[in-house]
Structure 1
Amino acid sequence: MTSENDGRKAAISRRTLLARTGAAAAALAVPALGGIQPAMAASWRVPGEETPHKRTWMAWPSSSTIWGGTLSRIQSDIAKLAKEVAKYEQVIMCADGSSAASQARSMCGSTVTVISSVPVSDCWTRDTGPLFRVDGTGGLDAIGLNFNAWGENATSFYGIPASAYNKDRAVAQNLAAHNGVPFARAAVVGEGGGVEYDGDGTLMATESCWVNSNRNPGKTRSQIEAELLSRFGASKMIWLPGVTGEDVTDGHIDGTARYIKPGVVMVQLAGAVRPAVWTANANAIRDVLVNATDARGRRLQVLTIEGPDVLPRISRGKQAAFLSSYMNWTVTNQAVITTQFGDTAKDAAAKTAIAAAYGRPVVQLNLDNLYGNGGGGAHCVTMQEPNR
C-alpha cells in the first residue's frame, strides 16, 4: 500500500492515518461471520515461528486500484524478498490470474513457485492468509481470522473501495483448500500481524487491534481472549498497550515486539525518527513485558534493540510515516530476514542482536518501498507453514 499520489489515485499506507473528516473507526460495522466452527481440541496449536517450516506462502500485488503508480516498486521489493526466502525454504507465491502469475515468475525467478489458483488482492499474507496448526501426531489444519481490511480502515480513511479487498477476505479459506487441509473460521475478526505466539501456551497482542469496534463490536476483551487462546492452542494472553488511529493496523504488535522462542521476547525501542506516540508505546510495551510471566510461569527474558536514528534514503517529509522497524522480520529455516535503513551503526547493532538471539544468520535487505510506501515489512508479507 502507498501514501503517495501519482496523479491518478492516492493509495493506502498501512502505517499512516489520513482520516477523513467525520470518519471514525469505532463506528464501522463488521460483516457477519459465516461458517464459524466450534473450537478444535486443545491439542491443536500454532507452533512458534522459529520451529522448522515446510515452506513460506506469499502473495503477488497486482492491483493498481490499491497501489496506483507505486505498484512496480512494491513488486520489486516483494520479488527481492521472495528470492531471499527461497534460499532457505520453499516459497509459494499466489498470483491473481495468469497474467499476474507470468509477471511474478519473471520477476521472482525459478526458485519461487508461482500459482494462480488462489485469487489475491494484495501482498499482506500475514494478515490475510491462514494460520497453520499442528496436533503433534502428524496432523495439520488451518484457522482464519476473518480479515476485513484492517477494520475497513482502508475504505473509511483512504477511500479505497471495499471491493478492492474482496479476494483477500477469502484468501485464508482458499489457500487452506488449495493445500488440502481442514479450515475453520475464528469467532473474532483480526489479522495475523496482530498477535504473537510462542507455540508453548502464550500469546501477546495489543488491545488496540482486537478490543476495537471496527473489528469486534460488542465483544469484551475476555471473550476475544478466550477465542484466541482456544484457536491458537494457548492458555495465557499477555495484553499490551497499543495505538489506535495512528496507522491502518491500529498498532500491530509485530512491528514492536516479537517472540524469539518460548520465554524470550525482543522489543524495539523507537529511534529518533519515530513520532512520540510510537516511542511512548514501545516503552509501555517493554514495561509490561519485563513484569510478565508466560503460561508456564516463566518470567520473560526481554531483549531490546533500538530503531534507526536517521533514514538517509527517505525524504524528511515521509520519515514519520515510514515503518522503521527491524522487528518485522521473517524467520526461515536457516536465517532471519529483516531490513536495513542506511543508519550504519543501528543497522549493524540490530543485525548483531537478532543473530545472537536466534543463533542463526541475519540477512538485511533494502526494502524501502515496502516499508515506506507499503508501511509493512517482511513479516507482514509472509506466512510460514510448519512441518508436521
Structure 2
Amino acid sequence: MSPLLPSRRSALRAFGGIGAVVLGASACGPGDDLLSTSGNQDTAAEGLRMGAEWESHARTFMSWPALDSVWAEDLPYVREDIARIARAIGEYEYVVMMARPQQVKAAQKACGRDVEVIELPVDDLWARDTVPVFVEQGGKVTGVDLNFNGWGNKQTHTNDGKVGRTLLAEYDIPRRRAPFVAEGGSFEPDGEGTLLITESSIVNDNRNRGKNRDQIEAEIKKTLGVKKVIWLKGVRGQDITDAHVDSLVRFTAPGVVLLDRAHPDTPADSWSRAADQAKAVLSEATDAQGRRFEVIDLPQPDLYEITGEGDDFVSTYANFYIANDSVFMPKFGDRKADKRAKSILQEHFPKRDIVPVAIDTIASGGGGIHCSTHDQPGKPVD
C-alpha cells in the first residue's frame, strides 16, 4: 500500500484544487420533497423516529469502489477489504452492494453468492455517507437524503451525490430531502431521541453556509424526529469529513457510549483533544430521557504493532458496525489491543457475535467498517 494514498483523513493533497458538484439543500430538483422547517416543530415531528443501529435491519447497503484516481495502485486491495466485509456481514443479514454496470460481474465474483450486487453507479466505498439515513413514522420507513456534496466539496462524487435518489427509487422507499447538508457518519442516535454530532462536521460553511448551530439543530430535530442533540466540538479541517462522530464516540445502549482513546504511546494531537472534549461534555450531559451518560474508553492499538501503514491510517475501534446478531470490528494486527477491543464490545453486546475483520487498506484510506456500510431498518430480508 502506498503511504501517499490520498485519503478521507488527509487534506486531499492530490484533489484539493478539484471543484465538486454542489448538491446542497439550497435548491430542489423535480420530484424533490424538501422537508420544511416552518411551522410547529413538535407537531411536524410527532411520531417521527430515528432508530438505533442495534435494532433489526432489513439489509445492509454497501458500495463497490470505482475510482482508481483516488485509490491508484491500491484499488484492488481496497476492493478486497470491501468484499471481505460484505461476505462477513452476509453471514448474518442481507447485503446489497451497489456497483457500476461494468463492474457488477467482478464485484459479484469477489463478494460471493450471499451478497446481492446491483447495477447502480457509484464512485467510492463510503456508503455510510452517501446512502440516506432512515426514519420511521406510523410504521413506515422513509429515506432522508442528506444532500451529499463530497464532504463540503472537497472531492467530486457525481454518482455518489445521486445515490440518495436512485437507491431509494430502486427499492421503492419514500424519499425526503433534508433542508441541510450532512453525511450519515455525522449522526449517532440512541433510538430514544438522543443524537450525538460533532459540530465541526455540520456547522460548517462547506456544508451549511450562513446557518448557525441553533438553526441547524432545529432542522435536524424536525427532519429526524430527535428530541435532544448533544454537540461535540470535533476537529475542523484535519480530515475530509471534518471529524465524523462515528470514529469518535458510539452508543452501545441508551445512556452508554464507547469513546475512542489514543494509545498511551501516541503523541497528543487534535484528535485526542477532541476525545478529551467529548468526554468532558458527555460527563456533564443528560440524554433525551434525562439519564446521565456512562462513558467507557475504547483504546486504540499501538501504531508500532499494527499491520497497516500510512500517515492517515485510522486506527479507531469506534468505527464498528452493528448488524443483526453481530458486531463487526476492525482487526489491526496489534493482538493485545484487538483482543481488548473485542472483549469490550462483547461485554456491551453479550448476545451478539463479535466479528473482527481486517481492513488495512480502508483504514489507510481514512475510514472503517462503519464508514463503508449503511443499515436499513426493518424486518430482515429472507
Whether these two folds match at TM > 0.5 is: yes
Instruction: State which of 329, 334, 346 in structure 2 corresponds to 1:338.
Output: 329
Q: Tell me, yes or no, if structure 1 residue 208 matches structure 2 residue 200.
A: yes
Specify whether residues 216 and 19 from structure 1 end up closer, same or farther in structure 2 by C-alpha distance, changes over 3 A only. Answer: farther
Q: Distance in 2 between matches of 1:348 and 1:228?
A: 37
> For residues 306 and 35 of structure 2, what CA distance do their matches in structure 1 show?
48
Q: CA deviation at 1:313?
A: 4.6
> What is the deviation of 1:314?
4.8
1:44 shift after superposition:
2.1
The letter for the 1-side match of 2:340 is: A
Q: Distance in 2 between matches of 1:387 and 1:103?
A: 29
Preserved CA contact (<8 Å) 1:335 1:361 = yes
Displaced runs of 4+ in structure 1, greater than 4 A?
2-5, 18-23, 28-31, 313-316
**1:138 offset after TM fit, Å?**
2.8
- Alignment match, 1:231: 223
Letter in 2 for 1:185: R
Q: Is the 2:23–2:147 contact (alpha carbons within 8 Å) kept by the matching residues of 1?
A: no
Distance 1:68 1:203, change over 3 A: same
Deviations 1:104-159 (A, max 9, x none): 1010011101110x221111110000112222x431111011100000122xxxxx
What is the Cα deviation at residue 284 of structure 1? Answer: 1.2
What is the aligned partner in structure 2 of residue 146 from structure 1? 147
2:174 matched residue in structure 1 = 182
Are 2:256 and 1:253 equivalent residues in the alignment?
Answer: no
For 2:170, the aligned partner's letter is: H
Match of 1:219 in 2: 211
Separation in structure 2 between the aligned mates of residue 331 and residue 386 of structure 1, nearest angstrom: 12
2-side partners of 1:315 and 1:356: how far apart? Answer: 27
Instruction: Write the deviation string for residues 232-281 of structure 1: whole angstroms up to 9, x where unpaired.
Output: 21111000011011111101110110111211111011123466111111
Pair 1:17 & 2:16 matched: no
Please name the residue that 2:41 is paired with: none
Aligned-pair identity (%): 38
**Residues in 2 aligned to 1:184 and 1:31: alpha-carbon distance in whole angstroms:** 12
Structure 1 residues 311, 100: CA separation in 2 closer, same or farther (over 3 Å shift)?
Answer: farther
Q: How does 1:1-388 map to 2 (within 5 A)?
A: 12-18=6-12, 32-34=26-28, 35=32, 36-38=34-36, 41-97=45-101, 99-116=102-119, 118-135=120-137, 137-154=138-155, 162=156, 165-271=157-263, 272-273=265-266, 276-314=269-307, 318=310, 320-359=311-350, 360-372=352-364, 374-387=365-378
1:33–1:146 contact (8 Å) kept in structure 2: no
- Give the equivalent residue in structure 1 for 2:40: none
Q: Deviations over 1:57-78 (max 9, x none)?
A: 1111122233222111110000
SS of alignment partner, residue 165 of structure 2: helix
Return 5+ residue gaps in structure 2 as ranges. 38-43
- Distance in 1, Cα, partners of 2:307 & 2:25: 38
* 1:4–1:70 contact (8 Å) kept in structure 2: no
Give the structure-1-normalised TM-score. 0.88
- In 1: Cα distance, 2:267 partner to 2:346 partner: 24
Q: Distance in 2 between matches of 1:383 and 1:255?
A: 15
Return the alpha-carbon distance in structure 2 between the equivalents of residues 285 and 295 of structure 1: 17
List per-residue Cα deviations over 1:208-255 (Å, max 9, x = no partner).
001111111000101111111122211110000110111111011101
- Secondary structure of the 2:104 match is helix
TM-score, length of structure 2 as denominator length: 0.90
For 1:77 and 1:315, locate their aligned partners in 2 and report how far apart those are by CA, in whole Å: 12
Native 8 Å contact 2:15 2:154 kept in 1: no
Cα offset, 1:192, TM superposition: 0.5
Q: Indicate how the Cα distance of structure 1 residues 20 and 217 shifts in structure 2: closer, same or farther if over 3 A, else same.
A: farther
Q: Is the 8 A contact 1:337 1:378 kept in 2?
A: yes
